[in-house]
Amino acid sequence: MSCHRYEAIHTRRDFLAQTGLGLGAAALAQVFGGNAFGAPAVSSSSSTGLPGLPHFPAKAKRVICLFQSGGPSHLDLLDEKPLLSARFNEDLPDSVRRGQRITGMVASQARLAVQPSKFAFQPGGKCGTRISDLLPHTREIADDICVIRSLHTEAINHDPAITFFQSGSQLPGRPSMGAWIDYGLGRLNDNLPSFVVLVSVNSKRAGQGLLARLWGSGFLPSGHQGVQFRSAGEPVLYLNDAPGITRERRRTMLDGITDLNRLQHAQSGDPEIETRISQFEMAYRMQASVPELMALDGEPAHVRESYGPDVTTPGSFARNCLLARRLAERGVRFIQLYHRDWDHHGGLHDSLPNIAKDVDQPSAALIRDLKQRGLLDDTLVIWGGEFGRTPYAQGDANREKYGRDHHGKAFSLWMAGAGIKPGTTYGASDDFGFNVTENPVHIHDLQATILHQLGIDHERLTYKFQGRQYRLTDVHGKVVKGILT
Amino acid sequence: MRTDFHPCHSARREESTWTLAPLRRIESPAGFFATLRMTSSPQFVLTLLAVAGSCAVHAAEPIDFNRHIQPILSDACFRCHGPDAGSRKAKLRLDQRDGVFRTREDVTVVVPGKPDASELYLRISSKEEDEVMPPRESSRQLKPAEIDLLKRWIAAGAPWGTHWAFSAPARPPVPAIEKRDSKSENPIDAFVRARLAREKLTPAPEAERAALLRRVSRDLTGVPPTAAELDAFIADVAPDAYDRAVDRLLASPRYGERWAWDWLDLARYADTNGFQGDPERTMWPWRDWVVNALNANMPYDQFTVEQLAGDLLPEATRDQKLASGFHRNNMFNGEGGRIAEETRVENVFDRVDTTSTVWLGLTFTCARCHDHKFDPIKQTDYFSLYDIFNQMSETGSASGGGGRSGAIVPVLDMSTDAEREAVSKAQAAIDAVAKEIETFELIKFPRPEGKAVVDSPAAQKLPGNLVATHARPAVNRRDLNGLLEALPFFRDTEPDAPYVALLNKHISAIRKRDNASNNITKVMIMDELPKKRDTFVLNKGNYESRTDVKVLGAIPSLFAKTSLGEGTPPTSDTPARLNRLDLARWLVSPENPLGARTAVNRAWQAFFGTGIVKTAEDFGAQSEPPSHPELLDWLATEFVASGWDVKKLHRTIVTSATYRQSSRVTPALHERDPENRLLARGPRHRMPSWMLRDQALAAAGLLNETRGGPSVKPYQPAGIWEEATFGKKSYQQDHGDALYRRSLYVFWRRIVGPTSFFDAGARQVCTVKVAHTNTPLHALVTLNDPAFVEAARVMAQRALTSAVRTDSARLDAVFRAATARLPAATEKSVLLGRLAKLRGQFGAAPAEAHQLAGAGEFERPESIPVVEHAAWTALCSLILNLDEALSKE
């Protein structure tokens, strides 16, 4: 029996213990698949994930999450609020705030003054979804996306809010969404990890740190954690052989390791040794498949150009969007991008246009590129951040120069592909963009919906830890049927 | 009823349509077994994941309540019929004797001896959709074997018991085993072999001597035996040779370093605070305290009391105060907009959770928001522990600590004059640069005399945050983050080269000062407020929603009367209010049934890979029953009787025949017992990644045995910290001897941990279990991490410069350094074949051979021919990556 799961996930004995499967060796061979080395790059049967999954036919085979870290201002991007202009510099009515807690940064502020957006909104596409002038390319794909304007979250600070978005809990220690999905569905590709993370560097090279635990596996076996493909140095840590070790010499060494491990297996009888042999082979294949993936030479010029001029810069959001498409093509299940520095407490008027420019064209190009290749039908794309921003100014209100604080009571994001109703909007916030007034979508609802599109009932994807069955959506979440085709 | 997997009640759950449907035999519609149904269709049930522990029991085996019955009741029933009043259905409790045997309206839940008269059995065996229990929609369904077990239990008189872990361990008699089975006098073997005999399995023979010394050296010291130690041990034919080897290892200073690792994992020790910014802290003196205490064999009760409450001991010494740093190792969120009280409350939670995991093996976290669903832990119990940890002076604000470091008051100042002087010098340098900048800015940002930079129109035109971060603050108040944002603007957008030069100078001066400041050794410790904070239960654990339920520090009520069956009286009239010292002393007193059990179980886990209780973090009702319950209790009582002598416990384990068995396994035995829970063979699993690095260094003769001190920064790929922090943290790799210190001393940045370690605890929250996964990413580390490549290179050069001259003898030496044995003839022929091929390959490419032969910073004698050196380096790397080299055999 050979085992070719990318991240052999857990050892076989752990797998058995964890799932309580009393399977014999023959059944195990089924569970772990029986492909020979050199299987086709994409194969639907390379890993079966958990038995019984998907729970129902899936609309999405894979997910691309374009995470905008720092809290993009919904009021300046996706949720137009003319009233803010009419009420410029008035106090935010108590009837709107309703005792909502505010962060330590504005707690000492004498007043919360209403702050309009200085950016105009226009309708996009046939559907006419109104989107800010800061996102002109996104506006052009308005007919392909669904803008949700009724997101809400409990967290008001970055770390808890991002952790919540990614793992369903504000406190560290739970598995991230990608890890849950890898755990549940397994992988589609023998030569690449099934959960890949790309962190981009924005034009200002600023923003807050991102913590590797955001793509961690929490209490799930560590093989499910996301693998960061880096833009500088080796794309995967320790992927490159030492100077002087060529592929040929590595092969010479590996053959020796394999031969001796086989002898050792005959001696000790531990089946874990066979798994080790296959993992070393997998590592060897990754050393070829990852650089192939990262090299964009084969991409036609018009495709590269469609992602904008930054595509030539390693580590740019544009390049990562193109890489995301390549990863999607190769059967990577969960592709997590991060773009940082949306945290505009001050100087939003200056900074927001820059960062919007970083991401606007590449995001739209990705949707078009996926669509043109027929991949959008089974790829779910999510664009958004951990929370939005306040309709009152941080500091003084000013029509031209302003900043906004964190705000989780209502914010916006967009989704596309894989059974999401294109050319629509969903939910609404009040005239201040402060509270949700229609079709609220909690972060747990969003997570339930993402899992649903992958054919997973979020209440039934669980893992027992500390005596309790845990799930991504805790005890919450309902599928947002209103955005589904 | 559509049931969550999650046992917690739902706040946001959609309203379900509930109907009360009386059973046909119950006249009253309010009958206590009112059935709950939901109108939607039943859910498919994934029973596969439901129970990890096996509840299979042979027909002949007597049914044991604790082992066979209680786990089923807990897992399948307690969610609605357990300790949590908030989610209890039909007012029925199945976690208490009174509930199980109760009769109401002529219906008796369990009639001992009469399954068919027992409502419980009728309900679980019912074929009727609206009366079967658990409800069809529940995620947890009973298997036929479980229903049968419950039936047989009732038929056998339904003997009731308390959950084993909540009663104090009683010293069990050591089973008599037939002498022909064992020469061992070690009681561990008697317990293990009694079970093997029941299972009709025979123990494995003793491991070969070399393998045994390798195993016990790794387990006790974390480093492999030297060739001389192996030779001496193999030559030593005295009957007590092994015992003496064990004594030598227990006395080695490496012992404390090896066992400190496990303790650091559960203490969530790291060198930074975690979260955004991730400032450095200097907790390493606490880490050294742990190593020293372990080496000195400090009794575990004292080890406990000093770490939990050393500061409260009468006439507390500096070391005792230092020990109390245990509960300052938690992360600390100093994010900008953070509400201090939220941070403070989360830190107290962390201390409660860590304490209960380590010394009680219970999942108290569940009771933060509501009464526990499975264990008799009330929310008030949680907050009674919370009250004990709620009395420290920490405010949740990150400011006011130890200068610019992440140390947050209260701290123990252990800095030296030299450290303080370095900081004042660095500060003076900043002040000097600031003066230069001030002068320059009088011209760059023109404004009326006496006005600030921000009043200059030129400064007001600055983009983004720069007005706030650069123009507004006085020059000597500008911080690193602001300057790093300002730099690209003045360099690229509105270039001003002389100004940029000044800014760079400023940045560099601040970095130097911060480094000096970070080196000031201030260890965070515990203290106690003179006037105690009032503690109220927080609704759903939310720091903002205090209830009016006031609680006082107390031992959890379940231990007040140590009984699951008899219920626990309310503790509202508790006279005293316990503090940390009271709690610490209670945790290691005979009143705590779990203090010794959790400790010996973790030790067992370290030696055998899995604890006697596999769920080392949970001994509650949902835990997996112990594989050898009597052995667990024997070890626990023996441990206490020995005066909590940790080295004696370790000695007892490693000198047992059970531990000394060969790890070879037949396919039949593997199929029968894949996890080796029955212990018919010795342990075999991949070593922890930190130990692999130490092994590679030791095999190469590189390991630097310096003990203690500030953490070190060995090889790490460029840009890891920078990428995670946008250049705000820059990794300054050490050189020379520091590269070869033990893994224990490697600097641990929480937001992006050391890259050489895999499957390691994340050092974010308390971790008592380690993973042994097997992935290609791990292979890449041991093949390509410069620390491993350099180790292979130095191994090769030692072989090539040693007295032995033949390939065969050299191969013997390097192979033995990694595996403790000599290669067999077939292995040798494979390896010599590889060597010949590698020689040919490198011979054809001498420039590349030169590259490999020069891997790492350790010096290389030029006298060694590069092709030969490279070929042997590749061969040594091959050997270090063999499964056998990576594994504890």
pLDDT in tens, B506-548: 999 998 888 888 778 999 999 999 999 999 999 888 888 899 9
Q: Tell me which of A216-225, A381-390, B142-151, B624-633 is least confident.
A: A216-225
For every residue of A84-143, DSSP letters joined together read HHHTTTPBPPHHHHTT----TTTTT-S--BB---SS-EEEETTTTEEEETT-HHHHHTGG
pLDDT of residue B90: 82
Partners of residue B769 in chain A, C-beta under 8 Å = none
Higher pLDDT, B774 or A361: A361
Q: Which residue has the higher pLDDT, B258 or B363?
A: B258
Q: Is A232 within 8 Å of chain B by CB?
A: yes
Residues 6+ apart with CB under 8 A from B754: B716, B746, B747, B748
Query: Is the pLDDT reported for residue A27 higher than 80?
Result: no
Note the pTM of the prediction, 2 decimals: 0.80
Query: Of all residues in chain A, what percent carry a pLDDT higher than 70?
Result: 87
pLDDT bucket at B11, cuts 50 / 70 / 90: very low
Indicate if the pLDDT at residue A129 is higher than 90: yes
User: Span B304-313, mean pLDDT?
Assistant: 98
Q: Of A182-186, A282-286, B36-40, B265-269, which one has max mean pLDDT?
A: B265-269
CA distance A453 to chain B (A): 18
Q: Is the pLDDT of residue A75 over 80?
A: yes
137-156 in chain B: CB under 8 A from chain A: 139
Residue window 62-101, chain A: list those with CB within 8 Å of chain B.
101
Residue A429 has pLDDT above 70, yes or no: yes
Q: Specify the pLDDT at position B398.
A: 79
- Mean pLDDT over B317-338 rounds to 92
Q: Is B416 on the interface with A (CB under 8 A)?
A: no
pLDDT band at B38, cuts 50/70/90?
A: very low
Closest chain B C-alpha to A206 CA, distance in angstroms: 6
Tokens 């929250």 correspond to B765
Q: Which of A209, A345, A405 sits opposite B751 (nearest CB)?
A: A209
User: Above 70 in pLDDT, residue B139?
Assistant: yes
∠ CA A37-A38-A40, rounded to 5°:
125
Task: Give me the half-sphere count of Cα atoms (radius 13 Å) on the Cβ side of residue B676.
Answer: 27
* Closest Cβ opposite residue A239 in set B623, B780, B882: B780
Mean pLDDT over each residue of chain A, to the nearest integer: 85
| Mean per-residue pLDDT, A422-430 | 96
DSSP designation for B364:
G
**Residue B71 or residue A67, greater confidence:** A67
C-alpha A64 chain-centroid distance: 6
Least trusted range by pLDDT, from A65-79, A471-485, B470-484, B638-652:
B470-484
Is the pLDDT confidence value at B886 over 50? yes
- How sure is the predictor about A376, in pLDDT bands with cuts at 50, 70 and 90? very high
Per-window interface: A 145-164 vs B, CB < 8 A: 156-159
Determine which helix (DSSP H) or strand (DSSP E) holds A424, and give its type and residue range. strand A424-426
Q: Which residues of A, range 296-315, sit inside 8 Å of B by Cβ? A: none
Examine the pLDDT at B777 and tell me if it is beyond 80: yes
Round to whole Å and give the CA distance between B3 and B79.
10
Q: What are the tens digits of pLDDT across the range B672-725?
A: 888 899 999 999 999 999 999 999 999 999 999 999 999 999 999 998 898 777
Which amino acid is residue A314, in one-letter code?
P
What is the model's pLDDT at position B334?
A: 81
User: Could you tell me the CA-to-CA distances from B712 to B706, B735, B739, B743, B744 in Å, in that order?
Assistant: 11, 10, 8, 9, 9
> Sorting pLDDT into bands at 50, 70 and 90, what band is B567?
very low
Of the residues B5, B268, B354, the best mutation for testing chain A's interface (the one with the most A CB atoms within 10 Å of its CB) is B5
Contacts of B623 in chain A (CB under 8 A): 467
Q: Are strands A379-384 and A62-68 parallel, antiparallel or unpaired?
A: parallel
Share of chain B above pLDDT 70, in %: 90
Nearest neighbour of A210 by CB, restricted to B49, B724, B762: B724
Residue partners of B32: CB distance under 8 A and separation at least 6: B90, B91, B92, B104, B105, B107
Query: Between residues B719 and A425, which one has the greater pLDDT?
Result: A425
A248 pLDDT band, cuts 50/70/90, is very high
What pLDDT sits at residue B185? 85
Question: What residue in B sits closest to A17 (Cα-Cα)?
Answer: B52
Min CA distance, B850 vs chain A (Å)?
Answer: 7
Q: Does the pLDDT value for residue A42 go beyond 90?
A: no
> In whole angstroms, what is the distance from residue B307 CA to residue B566 CA?
34
The residue of chain B with its CA nearest to that of A231 is: B723
Q: Which of residues 591-630 of B touch A (CB under 8 A)?
A: 614-615, 617-618, 620-623
Residue A35 vs residue B403, higher pLDDT? B403
pLDDT(B590) > 50: yes
- Looking at per-residue pLDDT, the higher value among B334 and A301 belongs to A301
* Stretch B497-507: mean pLDDT: 93
Q: What is the DSSP letter of A52?
A: T
For B728, the token pair is 């705000």
Residue to substitute from A32, A253, A260, interface B, most B β-carbons within 10 A: A260
pLDDT higher than threshold 70 for residue A187: yes
Confidence at residue B562, expressed as pLDDT on a 0 to 100 scale:
40
pLDDT at residue B565 in the model: 34
Kindly determine whether residue B783 and residue A238, on different chains, have CB atoms separated by under 8 Å: yes
B726 compared with B26, residue with greater pLDDT: B726
Residues in A closer than 8 angstroms to B82, CB to CB, are none
B7 to chain A nearest CA, in Å? 7
Max avg pLDDT among A328-342, B294-308, B324-338, B396-410: B294-308
| Residues of chain B numbered 437-466 and touching chain A (CB < 8 Å) | 463-466
User: Is the pLDDT reported for residue A374 higher than 80?
Assistant: yes
> Is A462 near chain B, with CB under 8 Å?
yes
* Residues B795, B793: Cα–Cα separation, whole Å: 5
Q: What is the mean pLDDT of residues B80-104?
A: 84
Contact call for A173 and B44, based on CB within 8 A: no
pLDDT number for residue B125 = 87
Sequence letter at residue B813 = A
* CB < 8 Å & 24+ apart, contacts of B182-186: B182/B657, B183/B657, B184/B656, B184/B657, B186/B652, B186/B655, B186/B656, B186/B657, B186/B658
pLDDT band at A121 (very low <50, low <70, confident <90, very high): very high
- Best of A210, A238, A263, A276 to mutate (most B CBs within 10 Å, chain B): A238
Give me the pLDDT at residue B196, please.
94
* CA dist., res. B463 & res. A347, Å (int): 7
Chains A & B: contacts with CB separation below 8 Å: 354
- For residue B184 the two structure tokens come to 């061992």
- State the smallest CA–CA distance between residue B432 and chain A in angstroms: 28
**Does B363 contact A468 at a Cβ distance shorter than 8 Å?**
yes
Q: Report which residue type is found at A483.
A: I
| Residues B212-225: tens digit of each pLDDT | 999 999 999 999 99
The SS3 assignment for B66 reads helix
Q: What is the pLDDT of residue A47?
A: 53
Optimal mutation site among B356, B363, B783, interface A, most CBs of chain A within 10 A:
B783
Strands A441-442 and A145-152: parallel
B468-487 residues touching A, CB cutoff 8 A: 468, 484-485
Inter-chain contact A475–B675, Cβ cutoff 8 Å?
no
The pLDDT value given to residue B404: 56
- Closest Cα of chain A to B101: distance in Å? 26
Coil vs helix vs strand at A464: strand
